[in-house]
Chain A
């Protein structure tokens, strides 16, 4: 009995498995892997930008979010690079510079070559925050303290080799100081809690989370790690304006990708329809309400951005 079933099973796999994915893609619901926990900024935004996927003018099939959190995203991306089916029904969310920095640092099974980008939906710059009752009021105060007390200024961020850590490294390099970067477990929220509770003197955090914490009166935002000021925080100067040579290498770009080996027709179809899906008015309204900056980029733009980011990060991380 068992043998018979197994035999039939094998025969059927041989019959159906070979058949190419038809133009009818997608025929069934699609899953999207997010390598951070439910409730985190990436998860939250991924759920919003994919909520209209089931509409006829988008993909026509819903996208279900699957969380595979752990080790700053390494767990999810490792899974995505090595175990995910490259059939177009498994999408993944990427976070640049996180996964690129981790692949440069090594010890993971992916690099930019393991994935095919589809489209970018958001760009969340890192900001420097201090508790509301802190004596520091500008980046100059921070750097001054760090110069006087080398290695004693503690500041939190969401792990090693993620956007926050890149921002921290850039700050140390540009200001020529040594500080104590404290990676927290539990993402940006835990890093923010450490700042508010006074466990650390400052912190690098996501602009969207910091904006909310500032609204609640818990923190002061001293600088934005980006090329331009952000629409949510028009009064907060960039690090560059404050005299530190820091570009947008730490800005957290979020978007959708598929594993290498996904059929080209599927990639083309997704690359054409996904940016349109992001442009849906309901999506931007919800994203705006949550304080999450949108930044839609097409597949070609993302390929370029990945390559540029990889070059910058290789240089920045060379000394570590």
Chain B
């Protein structure tokens, strides 16, 4: 309960001002395509040079929480996921926006974010010592199996055909191997200098999601009929709250998945949203509504990716190990002020530690209030004429993918992947499994190579990858996931195979 004691520090005028600034700034940065939370926090670090440690951290903490939620704005309105965390949000969120329910989608996403986020931070506050041990329990073999578990959901994610889903996933896994291999330093599939750095995940995300959408708008041509204008429906915040609370399954699956996955160093928030989305879909009786603008999809994805914020800082704050890229940047922000995370932080600078954590708690609430306030207005983006929209999204895609690391190569990769994805989408392939493969590929590979090196020096491959309770549990989960998908596929085939054959 120590954290309550430091609550006052958050509400001094300067601190609260910074908190507001961080929250609003974070929402804007998060909504900018190409700016992942990591980059946004890195951009803010220089501002903290001039501040007290506590104030600097308030700014960074608020910015971290709100950039993660802000990514949902561009995901829903423009179908450009701001970060890997927001991929799952596009699936149902953007569909809702296209149907004129943008305001509702944004409200749901902010409310779900806030609920998931607050629970995540509370976990950080109360269970840190326990969670730290759990975070360390994941070695290379476990992370490898975890990545494989992620691969197994590829087939069932946002696609009509399991084979095409798996094939999309394979394309993603292959794309991830392009570039220098990280451990040996060998060059793989570098056909063009732009690929020298491998495929940047943010640039790929922008290309795979935004460009097909731009091309789809082009393909509709110069239309004059007014039928295209979308009626943006108003949606009251109270209704949105009722909707969120009436979906406890999506909310709890999202929050739990996000918290657990966020905790594991090296996997982090990248896949939290997607895994939560997939789980919710599997457990939902309204499975067939997913991907067509179903509120559960948005709630699960956003609850998960904000729930991950708190736990993702556990390894950093207790053990001084940054578990995610954003945590690494935050570590830099702490070090600049001479504060070392770890026991030192809680023993010698409890004011800094608890004010930082409190600021994330208040930040979640402020983010939600501010987000709800602008949701109705922001949703009007859907009314922008198609010709303007296509040109704007194209411009944002170019600037966004360039700004990731000031590289033209990333822009070329973004455009090439985007055009390819447009044509693949016309034939039943889908971007979400491809992206999941792109994210999971390097995790699986690096941990397999590293694990096998350790195994060869010690107990041997079999014992290392197959032994131990955690390994066995994960393998069981992998098998269960495959069996479940196969069973669902067979069952749905029996019912729908007739209608599927056409053309």
Given A31-B406, A180-B454, A217:B140 Cβ within 8 A? no
Chain A residues lying within 8 Å of B343, measured Cβ to Cβ, are 216-217
Chain A residues lying within 8 Å of B503, measured Cβ to Cβ, are none
Partner of A72, one of B42, B185, B340: B185
A47 in contact with B45 (CB, 8 Å): yes
Quick check: is B181 within 8 A (CB to CB) of the other chain?
yes
A291 in contact with B335 (CB, 8 Å): yes
Measured CA separation A102–B180 after assembly (Å)? 13
Quick check: is A184 within 8 A (CB to CB) of the other chain?
yes
Chain A residues lying within 8 Å of B193, measured Cβ to Cβ, are 82-83
Task: Scan A197-234; emit 1 where CB is below 8 A from any B CB, else 0.
Answer: 11110000000000011011110000000000000000
Quick check: is A111 within 8 A (CB to CB) of the other chain?
no
Given A75-B179, A180-B453, A182-B450, A216:B319 Cβ within 8 A? yes
Task: Scan A169-212; emit 1 where CB is below 8 A from any B CB, else 0.
Answer: 00000000000101111100110111011111000000000001
Quick check: is A37 within 8 A (CB to CB) of the other chain?
yes
Chain A residues lying within 8 Å of B197, measured Cβ to Cβ, are 68, 70, 75-76, 79
A200 in contact with B320 (CB, 8 Å): no
Partner of A290, one of B136, B326, B338, B344: B338
Task: Scan A78-93; emit 1 where CB is below 8 A from any B CB, else 0.
Answer: 1100110000000000
Measured CA separation A68–B180 after assembly (Å)? 13
Partner of A160, one of B185, B315, B327: B185
The bracket for how many chain A residues form the interface is: 35 or more
Measured CA separation A311–B97 after assembly (Å)? 63
- By beta carbon, the residue of chain A nearest B198 is A70
Measured CA separation A153–B185 after assembly (Å)? 23
Chain B residues lying within 8 Å of A154, measured Cβ to Cβ, are 453-454, 457-458
Chain A residues lying within 8 Å of B185, measured Cβ to Cβ, are 71-72, 74, 102, 105, 107, 159-161
Quick check: is A276 within 8 A (CB to CB) of the other chain?
no
- By beta carbon, the residue of chain A nearest B328 is A39
Chain A residues lying within 8 Å of B332, measured Cβ to Cβ, are 38-39, 43-44, 47, 290
Measured CA separation A203–B266 after assembly (Å)? 19
Chain A residues lying within 8 Å of B336, measured Cβ to Cβ, are 44, 48, 286, 289-290
State how many angstroms separate the Cβ of A242 from the closest Cβ of chain B. Answer: 24
B321 in contact with A189 (CB, 8 Å): yes
B340 in contact with A38 (CB, 8 Å): no
Chain B residues lying within 8 Å of A185, measured Cβ to Cβ, are 182-183, 442, 446, 450
Quick check: is B325 within 8 A (CB to CB) of the other chain?
yes
B320 in contact with A71 (CB, 8 Å): no
Given A151-B457, A152-B458, A70:B182 Cβ within 8 A? yes
B179 in contact with A71 (CB, 8 Å): yes
Measured CA separation A155–B223 after assembly (Å)? 65
B180 in contact with A70 (CB, 8 Å): yes
Chain B residues lying within 8 Å of A197, measured Cβ to Cβ, are 136-137, 139
Given A151-B457, A180-B454, A71:B328 Cβ within 8 A? no
A216 in contact with B320 (CB, 8 Å): yes
Measured CA separation A200–B405 after assembly (Å)? 33
- By beta carbon, the residue of chain B nearest A193 is B321
Considering residues B182, B327, B330, B409, which has the most beta carbons from chain A within 10 angstroms of its beta carbon?
B182
Given A39-B331, A154-B454, A217-B343, A183:B338 Cβ within 8 A? no
A213 in contact with B454 (CB, 8 Å): no
B454 in contact with A39 (CB, 8 Å): no
Measured CA separation A288–B179 after assembly (Å)? 36
Task: Scan B159-199; emit 1 where CB is below 8 A from any A CB, else 0.
Answer: 00000000000000000000111111111000001001110
A182 in contact with B454 (CB, 8 Å): yes
Measured CA separation A161–B136 after assembly (Å)? 27
Chain A residues lying within 8 Å of B406, measured Cβ to Cβ, are 31, 66
Chain A residues lying within 8 Å of B196, measured Cβ to Cβ, are 75, 78-79
**Which residues of A, 16-50, contact B by the 8 Å Cβ criterion?**
31, 37-40, 43-44, 47-48
Measured CA separation A176–B476 after assembly (Å)? 44
Given A160-B184, A196-B319, A189:B405 Cβ within 8 A? no
A68 in contact with B450 (CB, 8 Å): no
Partner of B340, one of A37, A102, A215: A215
Chain A residues lying within 8 Å of B457, measured Cβ to Cβ, are 151-154, 180, 182
Chain A residues lying within 8 Å of B326, measured Cβ to Cβ, are 39
Chain B residues lying within 8 Å of A83, measured Cβ to Cβ, are 193, 409
**Which residues of B, 314-362, contact A by the 8 Å Cβ criterion?**
315, 319-322, 325-332, 335-338, 340-344
B405 in contact with A184 (CB, 8 Å): no
A183 in contact with B183 (CB, 8 Å): yes
State how many angstroms separate the Cβ of A155 from the closest Cβ of chain B. Answer: 10
- By beta carbon, the residue of chain B nearest A179 is B457
State how many angstroms separate the Cβ of A131 from the closest Cβ of chain B. Answer: 11
Quick check: is A313 within 8 A (CB to CB) of the other chain?
no
State how many angstroms separate the Cβ of B176 from the closest Cβ of chain A. Answer: 12
Partner of A212, one of B42, B327, B342: B342
Measured CA separation A197–B265 after assembly (Å)? 11
Measured CA separation A78–B265 after assembly (Å)? 29
- By beta carbon, the residue of chain B nearest A67 is B405
Measured CA separation A210–B290 after assembly (Å)? 48
A159 in contact with B182 (CB, 8 Å): yes
Measured CA separation A79–B456 after assembly (Å)? 35
Given A66-B405, A71-B181, A192:B46 Cβ within 8 A? no
Quick check: is B482 within 8 A (CB to CB) of the other chain?
no
B340 in contact with A216 (CB, 8 Å): yes
Quick check: is A51 within 8 A (CB to CB) of the other chain?
yes
Measured CA separation A286–B336 after assembly (Å)? 6
Could you write out 16 A-B pairs with CB less than 8 Å apart? A37-B325, A38-B325, A47-B46, A47-B332, A51-B46, A67-B405, A68-B197, A68-B405, A70-B197, A72-B185, A83-B193, A194-B139, A213-B320, A217-B343, A289-B338, A291-B335
In the complex, besides A48-B336, A217-B342, 8 extra interface pairs with C-beta distance below 8 angstroms are A79-B409, A159-B183, A161-B185, A199-B454, A212-B342, A216-B341, A218-B320, A286-B336
Which 4 pairs, one residue from A and one from B, show the smallest C-beta to C-beta distance?
A39-B328, A216-B342, A71-B180, A289-B338
Residues on B close to A: CB < 8 A? 38-39, 42, 45-46, 49, 136-137, 139-140, 179-187, 193, 196-198, 265-266, 315, 319-322, 325-332, 335-338, 340-344, 405-407, 409, 442, 446, 450, 453-454, 456-458
